[in-house]
Amino acid sequence: MATTLIKNGKVVSATGVIAHDVLIDGETIRALGAPGYFTEEGIDHIIDAAGKYVIPGGIDVHTHMELPFGGTFASDTFETGSNAAAWGGTTTIIDMAVQRYGENVHEGLAEWHRKADGNCSIDYSFHQIIGGVDDQSLKDMKYLVEHEGISSFKLFMAYPGVFYSDDGQILRAMQTAAECGAMILMHAENGIAIDVLVQQALARGDTDPKFHSYTRPSPLEAEATHRAIVLSHVAGNVPLYIVHMSAGDALNEVAAARHAGRNVFAETCPQYLYLTLEETLGKPGFEGAKWVCSTPVRSKDHDPDYIGQMGHGHQGDLWKGLRMNELAIVSTDHCPFCMKDQKELGLGNFSAIPNGIGGVEHRMELLYQGVVTGEISLERWVETCCTTPARMFGMYPKKGVIAPGADADIVVWDPNTKTKIGINDKHHMNMDHSAWEGWVIDGKVDTVLSRGSVVVSNDTFHGRKGHGQYVRRGLSQYLV
Ligand SMILES: [Zn+2]
C-alpha cells in the first residue's frame, strides 16, 4: 500500500494547533510525529505543507444531490456534486434520501443508492427523509438503523402536501427514533401558516422573489422550532437536530432547550451567516431568484415581529450561537438549481421558484473567512465543519479527526493566498450562476486527500468517479 507523508504543516484540531508531520499508510493515518520525526526514505509520496494548515477533511451533513423539487431536479448529480465538494475541501457528504407520502422507504433509499453508488469521488452517507409517517415507515426506520447504517431521519413541518408531517405524525416518528436511539432532523417552519401568507401575497400581486422571505417571517421558524423541541421532550428526550437555522428568535429556542440540558442541536449554513435579503432576494427583477431557499435568507435587521432581545440582527445572533455552541455545525443545504429552465419556473410567481442554493463547494472557504474576521477561532472552524459533524452523526473517529487509525481524509489549507468565487473564477458546481459571485476569500484549498488518495492538488482535479464509498453510520456520539 502506498505511503504518504505530509510534512512541515500545522495540524489543526477542534482543540488546538500543533506542528506535526502526518504519516499515511494506504487509506488510513498511521501516526503523527514531531516535525522531521519520520524518515522520508521509502515514502511513496511527500506533501510539503510548510506555512500551511493540515485539517481533517470537511464533512457537509446536509446536501440534496438530484433532489426532485417543484417539477425539476437539483442540478448536481452525485458525480458533479461530490467533485465540487472535494474542490472545496469537503471529503464526506451526508445527502438526504427521499421518501414522500405514499412511497416506500426502502425504495426511496434504494433509489438514492442508485444515484450515488459508483459515482462519487468522496465518501458519502445518507439521512432518510420520512415524508409519510405511518405504521410501515415507522417499522422501516428501525430497520434502517439496525441494517443500513442510517441513524438519522428528517421530518418537515413545512411543505404541506409534499413532505409535511403533522404534529401527531412527528410525535410518532420521534417516539420510534427514541426507541432505537436515532436522531430526528427537523425542517422547522410553520408551513400551514406560511402557505396562507403566500396565497395572500400572490393575491395582492406581490410576486417578486423577495416575497419568498417576507411570507416566511422568522417567528414562524421560532414557533416551529419551539414546537419540535416540546414534541421531542414528550417523545422521551429524543435527540433533535434543527436544520438550516436562519433566525435569532429560532436560535433562542434552541439555546433555552440546551440550557435546560436537553439533547437539542442545530446547524446553520453560510447563506444565513453572510447574505441578507436586501442584498440578494431583494435585487430588482427576477435576479433575486438565485437566493430563494428555505428557510429564507433574512433581513439585515430583525423582523418587525421578532420575538426576543433586539440588537445585532439575525447574523450577529447566528455568529454568537456558533461561538456558544448553540449552533453545533455548519452545513450547506446544497440544493442547486440553474436560473435557466429551473429558477425561471417561478417567473411571475415566487412560490414556484425551486427552493435551494448551491454551496457544497464553498462552505470551508466561507467559514474560514469567519476565522479571518475574528467571529470564530481556527479550532472552532474545524470543530463546526469537520469534527462535530462526524461525532453528531456517528462517524467518529473514522472521520472528522487527524489521528492514528482514522481515514486519511485530509485538507492542506493555504492561509497565505486568496480564493475568488464566481462562474469564471472558482466554480465547479453544475449551475449557471453562483450565489457567491465575486466573493474574494482569504485562504485557499491547497491539497485534498480522500482515504489517502489525492483528489485535488495544484488547482487540478485528480479524483476518480467511484472512489467514494458509502459510510454506514452509528448512533450520535454527541448526546448530553
Ligand atoms: Zn435541505
Q: What's the pLDDT tens digit per position in 329-375?
A: 999 999 999 999 999 999 999 999 999 999 999 999 999 999 999 99
CA atoms of 280 and 168, how far apart (whole Å): 37
CA of 95 to the centre of ligand 1 (A): 9
Of the candidate ranges 25-29, 66-70, 320-324, the one whose mean pLDDT is the lowest: 66-70
**pLDDT, position 96:** 98
CA of 263 to the centre of ligand 1 (A): 21
- 227 sits in which H/E element: helix 218-234
CA of 55 to the centre of ligand 1 (A): 26
Burial label for 292, CB within 10 Å (0-12, 13-18, 19+), is buried
CA of 428 to the centre of ligand 1 (A): 20
3-state class (DSSP) for residue 121: coil
CA of 388 to the centre of ligand 1 (A): 19
CA of 63 to the centre of ligand 1 (A): 6
CA of 182 to the centre of ligand 1 (A): 19
CA of 149 to the centre of ligand 1 (A): 20
pLDDT single digits (tens) 116-172: 999 999 999 999 999 999 999 999 999 999 999 999 999 999 999 889 999 999 999
Q: Residue 184 corresponds to which cell in the numbers above?
A: 430526528
CA of 335 to the centre of ligand 1 (A): 7
Residue 209, preceding bond cis, omega within 30 degrees?
A: no
Neighbours of 238 (CB within 10 A): 24
CA of 93 to the centre of ligand 1 (A): 13
Q: Residue 36 corresponds to which cell in the numbers above?
A: 522531521
Helix 218-234 with 167-180: angle, nearest 10 deg: 50
CA of 215 to the centre of ligand 1 (A): 19
Candidates 415, 385, 380, 381; CA nearest to 400 is 385
What average pLDDT does the structure give for the chain?
Answer: 96
By DSSP bridging, strand 3-7 and strand 45-48 are parallel
Candidates 151, 182, 124, 176; CA nearest to 334 is 124
CA of 62 to the centre of ligand 1 (A): 6
CA atoms of 406 and 92, how far apart (whole Å): 13
CA atoms of 115 and 127, how far apart (whole Å): 15
Candidates 1, 37, 44, 41; CA nearest to 21 is 37
CA of 270 to the centre of ligand 1 (A): 13
CA of 61 to the centre of ligand 1 (A): 10
By DSSP bridging, strand 72-73 and strand 68-69 are antiparallel
CA of 446 to the centre of ligand 1 (A): 29
Burial label for 332, CB within 10 Å (0-12, 13-18, 19+), is buried
CA of 264 to the centre of ligand 1 (A): 18
CA atoms of 189 and 298, how far apart (whole Å): 14
**pLDDT, position 480:** 63
**pLDDT, position 76:** 98
Candidates 198, 155, 158; CA nearest to 174 is 155
CA of 333 to the centre of ligand 1 (A): 5
Inter-residue contact 267 to 329 (CB < 8 Å):
yes
CA of 26 to the centre of ligand 1 (A): 34
CA distances from 437 to 76, 269, 460 (A): 18, 17, 21
3-state class (DSSP) for residue 453: strand
pLDDT single digits (tens) 326-335: 999 999 999 9
- The residues near 192 (Cβ < 8 Å, ≥ 6 apart) are 160
CA of 331 to the centre of ligand 1 (A): 10
**pLDDT, position 302:** 75
- Arithmetic mean of pLDDT, 247-275: 97
**pLDDT, position 310:** 55
Q: If you search the block for the grid coordinates 410518532, which residue do you land on?
A: 172
pLDDT single digits (tens) 68-120: 988 899 999 999 999 999 999 999 999 999 999 889 999 999 999 999 999 99
pLDDT single digits (tens) 287-319: 999 999 999 999 988 766 666 665 678 999 999
Candidates 321, 322, 287, 318; CA nearest to 300 is 318
CA atoms of 291 and 339, how far apart (whole Å): 10
CA 185 to chain centre: 12
CA of 96 to the centre of ligand 1 (A): 8
CA of 163 to the centre of ligand 1 (A): 12
CA of 72 to the centre of ligand 1 (A): 16
CA of 447 to the centre of ligand 1 (A): 28
Q: How far apart are the first and last CA of the chain?
A: 40
Please tell me the number of Cα atoms within 13 Å of 340 on its side-chain side: 4
CA of 98 to the centre of ligand 1 (A): 11
CA of 190 to the centre of ligand 1 (A): 16
CA of 271 to the centre of ligand 1 (A): 13
- Arithmetic mean of pLDDT, 452-474: 98
Got the DSSP string for 335-352? ----TTTTGGGGTT-GGG
CA of 47 to the centre of ligand 1 (A): 36
Determine the residue type at 74. A
CA atoms of 480 and 397, how far apart (whole Å): 18
Q: Residue 114 corresponds to which cell in the numbers above?
A: 442508485
CA of 64 to the centre of ligand 1 (A): 6
Determine the residue type at 110. A
CA atoms of 462 and 476, how far apart (whole Å): 33
- What DSSP character marks residue 216? S
